[in-house]
Amino acid sequence: MISDQLKYINLSTRKKNGNYVDTPVWFAVDEQTNTLYIYSLKKAGKVKRIRNFPDVKIAACNYRGKLEAEWQSAKAELINDSEEIAAAYRFLRHKYGITFRIGDVFSWVVGNYHRRQIIKIYLTSVA
């Protein structure tokens, strides 16, 4: 299980040619449902790849993406429900505090705040 004490996970998404793209991301855990939430811009490559292939891999990593644990298989889901989006942001803001809130402000200023996509991750097994 991925601990909410970690700061980053590496999210590995599959391209149409079968290769994987690894991306270190911030995340927050909903301990009641044992799911993870991350966010990205809607037009980001990882969002497009998840739309095509929801099977992903995740692993604990550092801020550069260097793995600190074994890969785990997971499923990703793009979330569009406003209540679940609000809950995901609560988890992320609680975990990352002022750093996340500053990012919110800058995102709002440059016009990206409403271009974000919440991604829900369900663990399936160890890869």
pTM to 2 decimals?
0.90
What tens-digit pLDDT sequence spans the chain (127 residues)? Answer: 688 889 999 999 999 999 999 999 999 999 898 899 999 999 999 999 999 999 999 999 999 999 999 999 999 999 999 999 999 999 999 999 999 999 889 888 988 888 999 999 998 865 5
Pairing of strands 35-41, 55-61: unpaired
- CATH classification code of 8-126: 2.30.110.10
Contacts of 109 (CB under 8 A, 6+ apart): none
- Would you list the domain boundaries of the chain? 8-126
